[in-house]
Amino acid sequence: METVSRQFQHVRSLHTSSTFLGCYLRSLALRASPVDTPTWLPFPTSNLSATARVDTAAITNVIANANANTNANVQISTVAGAQAAAAEDPLSGLPILSNLASFCCRNMLVTEWLQTFYEIPVVPWQHLILQTAWLVSLNLHLRTITIERMSVRTTEELFRLSQALAELKKLHELRLGPIPVSHDDQGVALLNSFLDSLPSSMSILSMSQITTNIQPQDNLDWPRRDGALPDLKELHMDMPAHFPARFLDHMFRSCPSLEAFYIGRAHVQTSRAITAAITNGINDHCPEFKRFSLGQAFNAGASNDGFKILRTLKPKMLTRLDFWQLRGKESLKQAEEGILLQAETLEVVCFGDCLTMTSRTIRRITAMCTALKTLRVEQRSGVLRKVKMKKVVKERWACHNLSYLELAIAAKTFENITFYQDSSDYYEPTEFDRELWEHWGKFYKQLGQLTKLQVLILKRAVSLEEPGSQEATFPGMLSPGNSDKGRPGYLQYLRRLANLKELRGPFHLAIPEMAATFGIEEVQCIMSQWPKLATIELLQASEGGPTIFDTYPQLVSLIKWKPLMHLC
């Protein structure tokens, strides 16, 4: 007990399965730290010889120390114990935490890593929302609140929570789990009452889907905010199709400063009324709106809500578009249509963890989005559909303002590259080789025109057809070339990238191709061409160690040139 209390001042996270916390704070993650201190250090499990048997009194002492120290930079994570259902009063004996700046409550039934590492039985507890509301009311300086995977079960729970939230004058971010209300007049009124009770300091609001119904209660004096939410900038909704259209209309009317709308899942069909409520709300009541994010679109048809919303937004309105886990040619086609409608104003386009990507999509973005500053294309490993590089460079790129470029793709010609052999023999390129090298030359020449580029990440999504081939390294032989061996070189095409600060992907010394091309000449080119370079990826994650400089002595020159250079 005393050991845990003494260690409290030096740890950032504490995980325990004590019966006390399991009974009253099931699945809670409590953070007591200044909001501007985002770094969290995990509690080392080796310091707790019996993590699952931490004494209740020790936890109480730890919490008391947290209350006494307002600057305590601590996260307390608790999980349910097997005796959680033993208590009669959900608030009885609950320790007082009064200096929290951030509060996170999760349902650990779906948090697999806790069950895996601690083998803790998790039991349901019906008063968690009430406990949360009580705890929130004791911490009036809270700025971020997350209640994940926990459904509000009764009107009273939502009412008590709204009462507590209304008193938080500094609340910046609220992420709330499912609210099971109906789509009828009473359900809409209940949601509107909750929305109107949120403090005006709110900047980020996240709400997941509506599920089942709860019975409304009369004669509840809901707190009410004066006016709209003037500072609300970001709105996150898991599936907008599950929200009443009239509530959505009221919500967008209440957010005149809204800048970003994030949809978690776009493969759900929705009605015209809901689509109209969202698009009309954004177009008519949110003049500062500029960021739209769409996730999990699987073979999207024309009826899917996310793409319908994107197509009906005002043209030239957005500066950022994000797509996550797109799958299917139809999804990608609709994403392209949305991009083209906003092409003149888009500054950021991101495709994250996508199963589908085509050369046409990349080509259209680079040719049409003239204001683009960030382009990120991440194709999931294991995909079968590949990008044709010769079509990517078919048109000249018009995005000359790019400062961040990431391409992690599966290209169709990757498997046809002729690798270096461990010999000094001259390689006579075939006609196919020359054609392939010409395409890569055009690609790197296009990159060389991006003089504002600061971050360049070029990686390969490994195909199922070629497991482990080239270890996910992007080809192109970033080298001055070797005429004695009949090899091309593209490094000179990037000499104008004087602002480059980070380079990842093209240099992987652990494969024969790069090992044979990366030498002292390449190091000299790097030092002369990219004076601002601070990070360069040279090795696979499995490489490194004390012998790496013995294997590649040219790296010593890099370290001498810039001692703070980050090699990864």
> pLDDT at position 65, please?
46
Judged against a pLDDT cut of 70, whether residue 25 lies above it is answered with no
**Which of the four pLDDT bands, split at 50, 70 and 90, describes residue 283?**
very high
Q: DSSP alpha helices (H): ranges in 25-154?
A: 56-68, 112-118, 128-137
> pLDDT at position 182, please?
72
Highest mean pLDDT: which of 110-114, 175-179, 290-294? Answer: 290-294
Mean pLDDT of 212-231: 81
How far, in Å, CA of 32 to CA of 527, rounded? 45
Please say whether the beta carbons of 520 and 549 come within 8 A: no
Of the two residues 184 and 493, the one the predictor is more confident about is 493
Query: Which range among 280-284, 396-400, 475-479 shows the weakest confidence by mean pLDDT?
Result: 475-479
**Which of the four pLDDT bands, split at 50, 70 and 90, describes residue 36?**
very low
Mean pLDDT of 507-525: 65
> pLDDT at position 382, please?
57
**Which of the four pLDDT bands, split at 50, 70 and 90, describes residue 234?**
very high
Judged against a pLDDT cut of 90, whether residue 231 lies above it is answered with yes
Please say whether the beta carbons of 149 and 108 come within 8 A: no
Residue 364 three-state SS = helix
Q: How far apart are the first and last CA of the chain?
A: 42
Judged against a pLDDT cut of 80, whether residue 376 lies above it is answered with yes
How far, in Å, CA of 316 to CA of 346, rounded? 8
**Which of the four pLDDT bands, split at 50, 70 and 90, describes residue 552?**
low
61-71 in b/e form (b: 16+ CB < 10 A) is bbbebbbeeee
**DSSP class of 490:** -
Query: Which range among 84-93, 265-274, 363-372 shows the weakest confidence by mean pLDDT?
Result: 84-93
E-strand ranges in 156-276 read 173-176, 204-207, 234-237, 260-263
Judged against a pLDDT cut of 50, whether residue 58 lies above it is answered with no
Residue 17 three-state SS = coil
Of the two residues 409 and 224, the one the predictor is more confident about is 224
**Predicted TM-score of the model (pTM):** 0.76
> pLDDT at position 178, please?
75
E-strand ranges in 248-332 read 260-263, 291-295, 320-324
Please say whether the beta carbons of 97 and 135 come within 8 A: yes
Q: Please state whether beta strands 455-460 and 404-409 pair in parallel, antiparallel, or not at all (unpaired).
A: parallel
How far, in Å, CA of 321 to CA of 63, rounded? 43
Please say whether the beta carbons of 409 and 379 come within 8 A: yes
Highest mean pLDDT: which of 6-20, 67-81, 459-473? Answer: 459-473
Residue written as token pair 């929302």: 129
> pLDDT at position 339, please?
94
348, two tokens: 């950021």
Give the pLDDT confidence of 294-351 residue by residue, as tens digits. 887 655 554 466 788 888 899 999 999 999 888 778 888 888 999 999 999 999 999 9
Nearest to 424 by CA among 487, 477, 518, 491: 487
The answer to whether the Cα torsion of 483, 484, 485, 491 is positive or negative is negative
**Which of the four pLDDT bands, split at 50, 70 and 90, describes residue 424?**
low
355, two tokens: 């199963």
Highest mean pLDDT: which of 7-16, 49-58, 90-99, 342-351? Answer: 342-351
Query: Which range among 70-79, 385-394, 488-497 shows the weakest confidence by mean pLDDT?
Result: 70-79
Judged against a pLDDT cut of 50, whether residue 447 lies above it is answered with yes
